[in-house]
Amino acid sequence: MIRALPPILFGALFTVAAAWAMGAILLRGFAGIFYKWEARLFAFIAGSACLSAVVFLLCIFKFARPGVFLAIGLASIGYALFSKADRVHGKNFTPLPTLGRWLFAAVFAAFSVYYLLNAMSPEQSPDGVSYHLGVVAQYYRARGFPLITNNYYASLTQGIELLFLFAFEYGKHSAAAMVHFSFWIALPLMIFSYGRRVGHPLAGAAAALFTALSPVVGMDGSVAYVDVALAAYAFALFYVLQIWDQTRDRRLLILAGLFAGFAYEVKYTGGVAALYAVGFVAWKQFRAKKPVLRPALIVALTAFACMAPWMVKNAIEVANPVSPFASRWFPSPYVHTSQIEDWSRYLRKYDFTSYRELPIELTVTGIKTSGYFGPLFLLAPLALLALRSREGRQVLLAAAIFGATYFTNIGARFLIPVIPFIALALALVFERWKWLLLLLVAGHVAASTPFAFNRYASGAWAVWTVSPRAALRLESQDAYLTRTSSTYPVARMLDRLVPAGQKVFTFGPIAAAYTSREILVGWFSGPSEILQDILWSAMGNDQAPQRVVKFHFPERLIRRLRVVETARTPDQIWSVSELRVLAEGKEIPRAPEWRLSAHPNPWDVQLAFDNSPVTRWRTWQDAGPGMYIQIDFGRLQAVDSVTIETSNDADKSSLAVEELTNEAGWNRINAPAEPSESPIRASLRRAAAEEFKARGVRYLLIEDGAWGAKDFRLYSNAWGIRCIGQWRDSRLYYIE
C-alpha cells in the first residue's frame, strides 16, 4: 500500500518544482530588486501562474498528458539548472535573533507537519471532491478541456485547478491537495519576508503565524481548495506593489499585472486584484506627478492577458464570459438566472438571521460560516490603530480592497485573502509591546491546536485529526475513505453499477472526483435544473400542471399571437406547461410551419408545445412585464380561444393575449383570463421517467434526505424505477 505514496509525492513535488523553475527563469530579469528569500518565494508564485498558463494551452489542444507534462516540467527544471536561474542572487535580510528564528521555525514546522499529513491524506473535502477535483478529473480523462455545459462550477476560473491537473496526472487527488498546501507554506513566508523588508520582522513573524495557524486557513490550505492560493496571490501583489512604490522599477509592473491577473484566474473574487493594482499604480504616479497612463496600462494589459483566456473560453463554451454570473446580461440555456440569484442570495446570508452573529462565528464557533480564524481575531478592530503608520495604512487599504467582495459569500473561506493583511496590521499595532505580541502569538498557537478545537469550536470546519497511516498509505485510500467518507463509497458504487458513458442525475453534489460517470446535479446547470423540475412536476402539488388559464374571444384571423405577462411577480417564475390555441372548441393542431419563440429563455419554448405534462417553459427569473411566449402561425389562422396549462407556483401571473396586426403592431385582445383548476387524473411519475429516458438519463441517485426521496422509495413502481444499489442513505435507481 505504501507504494501508492511515491506517485503522490512525485506529483506534488514535481509540480511545485516545475512551477518554481519557471518562476526562477522569469525572475532572472528582475536581478537586483529582491532579497534572496523574496526571489525564492516570488519565483514559486510567478512560476505557478506561468505553469498554469502552459497547462491551459495544453488543455486547449488536448495535450494534457503525463508525457507532455513530464517533458515540460523536466525542461523547465533542466533549463533553470542549466541557466543557473536556481541560484538566487540578491541581498540577505538582516539576520534574526537566534531564539526568535528557532521559535518561529519550531512552531511553523510543527503545524506544517500536521497540515502536510492532512494534505497527504486521501482527499475528502466537500468542494474538493465535488467540483475542484471533479472538474480536474474530467480534464484528466479528456486530456484537456472537454465541453462542460452541465456544471457551472466548471465555468469558474480554474487557474489553480490546472496546477492540480499537472499533479493529478501522477499522484491524483492527494497530490493536488499538496499543491495547494505549497501555497499554505509560501503565504506565511511571504508575510514574514515582507515584515523583514519593511523593518518589522517581529510583526511579520507574528502575522505569518496568525494567518497560517488559523484553523480555517490550515484546513483550506491542506485540501484541494483554492482560497489560500488566492490569499498568496493577493499578498504577493501587495508585496510587489510596495516594492515598486519604493523602487519605481518598471519591471515590477509586469509582475504586479501577472499576480493581479492570476488572482482572477484563481477565483472570480480575485478580480478586485486587478482594480487594486491598476488603481495603486495610477494613484502613486499621479501623486508623484509622473506619467500615469503607461505604467497603469502595463499592469492592466498584463492582468488582462491572464484573465482574458478564461473569459474567451467561457464565451465560446457557455456564451457568457463570466459564467455563471451576469446571466441577465449573458443569457444562455446553461445557467438559469433564478438558479444563480437564489444561490447568491443564500451565500450572502447563509443561515444567519443577523450579521451581528458574524464576528463570533468567524472567530470562535465557525459552524454557520464553515470555519473560523481563532479568538485572536476578535481583536481585529484594533488593527485600525495601524492607520497611524504608513505600513499600517497600506495593509489596511489592501484588506479593505480584498474584503470588498466578502459579502458576496460570507463563508469564512472568503475572508482568507483578507486575513494576512488584518494579521499584519494587528501585529504592527502590538509590535511596540513585544511581550504582549508574543503572548498573542502563544495564545493563537494554543487556540489553533486540535486539542483546543474541542473546547470551543466543536463541529467547525477544521482539521480535527489526521491519520498518519492514511497519509503514508499504510492504510489504503480505498479502505480509509470507505471508513471515513460518506460520499466516496457512493462515487465508487456508481463506477461499479452504472455502465461507462451513462449519466446519473442527483439532487445534490457527490464526490464526482472519484467517479468517471457523468453526474448531473440538479442545481449545477440549466439543463440539470430542467431534469429536476421534471421530477418535481410529477410529485409536487405546486409544480404539477393543475391550473388552466383560458382566454375566450370572438373568432379572429391571426398570423402571430402571444401570451404576455403584464405584472411583476417577485419571487415567482412564470411557467407554461402547455399552450393551446383553439377554434370552435377544438384545438388547432400544431403544425410544422409554426414558429415558436419566447422571452426570456427562448431555448425551452418547445417545452410548452410538447404535450408532456411534466415539462414546461419557464422564465427562470422573477416574472415581469414584457415576458411572452409567442406563436407565428406562418399564415392567417382563425382563433377564438387560448389556454395555458400552468401550475400553482405560477398563480400570481397576470396574463393577456396579444395579436400582431399590420396597423398597430401588437394589439391586446379583449379577453379576460379565466383561471380554473384541472386535477391530474393519473400519476405523472412514469411520464417523468420517460422524459429522463428521452434525454439519455437512466440513473437516479437519491439521498434519503432529498425532497421527494420517500416518493421514489415507496412508489418506485409508479415511477418505473428499480433500486439497484444503496450505500447508507443514498440509493441508486435504474429507470426501467
How far is 354 from 365, CA to CA, in rounded Å?
A: 16
User: Shortest CA distance to 230 belongs to which of 495, 455, 48, 449?
Assistant: 48
Kindly tell me which residue out of 713, 723, 725, 734 binds another protein, with binding defined by CB under 8 A.
713
Residues forming beta bridges with residue 628, ordered by sequence position = 564, 599
Site string for another protein, 624-643 (x = CB under 8 A): --------------------
The dihedral sign for the CA sequence 108, 109, 112, 113: negative
* Cβ proximity to another protein, 550 vs 713, nearer residue: 713
- Whole-number Å distance between alpha carbons of 103 and 113: 16
Based on the shown chain and the rule CB under 8 A, indicate whether residue 500 belongs to the binding site for another protein. no
Q: Is 427 in the site for another protein (CB under 8 A)?
A: no
Residues 298-327 contacting another protein, CB under 8 A: none
Give me the least distance between CB of 532 and another protein, in Å please: 16
**Considering the complex, what minimum distance in angstroms separates the CB of residue 550 from another protein?**
20
Least gap, CB of 699 to another protein (angstroms): 21
- CB burial of residue 424 (10 Å; 0-12, 13-18, 19+): buried
Give the shortest CB-228-to-another protein separation in angstroms: 44
SS3 string, 181-218, reads HHHHHHHHHHHHHHHHHCCCHHHHHHHHHHHHHCHHHH
Alpha-carbon gap, residue 210 to 188, rounded angstroms: 9
**Of 270 and 720, which has the nearer Cβ to another protein?**
720
- In terms of Cβ atoms closer than 10 Å to its own Cβ (0-12, 13-18, 19+), residue 266 is buried
Cβ contacts of 168 within 8 Å, gap of 6 or more: 11, 133, 136, 137, 140, 175, 176
Task: Confirm if 161 and 136 have CB atoms less than 8 A apart.
Answer: yes
Nearest-CA neighbor of 48 among 78, 27, 17? Answer: 17
CB 664 to another protein: min, Å: 43
What gap in Å lies between CA 379 and CA 194, rounded to an integer?
22
Of 660 and 687, which has the nearer Cβ to another protein? 687
DSSP letter for 655, please.
E
**675 lines the binding site for another protein (CB under 8 A):** no
Q: What phi-psi label fits residue 574: left (phi over 0), alpha (psi between -120 and 50 degrees) or beta?
A: beta
Task: Tell me the site size for another protein, rule CB under 8 A.
Answer: 18
Strand partners, 618: 575
By CB under 8 A, residue 476 contacts another protein: no
Amino acid at 604: D
Strand partners, 734: 699, 722
Total Cβ atoms within 10 A of residue 246: 12
Q: Which of 2, 500, 664, 714: binder of another protein (CB under 8 A)? A: 714
The residue (of 484 and 541) whose beta carbon lies closer to another protein is 541
Q: Which is nearer to another protein, 228 or 544 (CB)?
A: 544
Least gap, CB of 121 to another protein (angstroms): 38
Candidate ranges 64-72, 158-166, 664-672, 678-686; the one touching another protein (CB under 8 A)? 678-686
Nearer to another protein, 231 or 539 (CB): 539
Pairing of strands 547-565, 655-661: antiparallel
> Considering only residues 472, 474, 718, 723, which one is a binding residue for another protein as defined by CB under 8 A?
718
Least distance in Å: CB of 543 to another protein?
9
Q: Which of 2, 99, 500, 682 binds another protein (CB under 8 A)?
A: 682
Closer to another protein by Cβ: residue 521 or 535: 535
Which one, of 618, 617, 597, lies nearest residue 607 by Cα? 617
What's the per-residue H, E or C state across 120-139? HCCCCCHHHHHHHHHHHHHH
Stretch that binds another protein, among 334-342, 343-351, 438-446, 705-713 (CB under 8 A): 705-713
Our CB check for another protein shows the closer of 695 and 713 to be: 713
| Residue 2 touching another protein (CB under 8 A) | no
Q: Least distance (Å) from another protein to the CB of residue 686?
A: 9
**Min separation Cβ 578 and another protein, Å:** 16
Within 511-570, which residues bind another protein (CB under 8 A)?
Answer: 538-541, 544, 546
684 binds another protein (CB under 8 A): yes
Please pick, from the candidates 328, 342, 715, 724, the single residue that binds another protein as defined by CB under 8 A.
715
Closest CB 553 distance from another protein, rounded Å? 30
Residue with cell 496571490: 233
Closer to another protein at the Cβ: 279 or 540? 540
* Region binding another protein by CB under 8 A among candidate stretches 151-159, 556-564, 635-643, 708-716: 708-716
Q: Please, which residue, 242 or 546, has the CB nearer to another protein?
A: 546
Question: Which CB sits closer to another protein, 99 or 714?
Answer: 714
Report d(CA 639, CA 636) in Å as an integer: 9
The residue among 455 and 681 lying less far from another protein, judged by its C-beta, is 681
Q: Which of 247/717 has CB closer to another protein?
A: 717
Query: What's the CA dihedral at 446, 447, 448, 451 to 10 degrees?
Result: 80
Cell triple for 625: 412585464
Q: Tell me how far, at minimum, the Cβ of 710 lies from another protein, in Å.
A: 5
- Binding another protein by CB under 8 A: which of 502, 516, 654, 683? 683
Q: CA-CA distance, 33 to 21, in Å (whole number)?
A: 19
Residue 680 within binding range of another protein, rule CB under 8 A: yes
- Residue whose CB is less far from another protein, 566 or 683: 683
Q: Which is nearer to another protein, 540 or 725 (CB)?
A: 540
The span from the CA of 234 to the CA of 274, in Å, is 10
The minimum distance between CB 724 and another protein, in angstroms, equals 17
Report CA dihedral (489, 491, 493, 498) to the nearest 10 degrees: 180
Does position 689 interact with another protein (CB under 8 A)? The reply is no
Binding stretches for another protein (CB under 8 A): 538-541, 544, 546, 679-684, 710-711, 713-715, 718
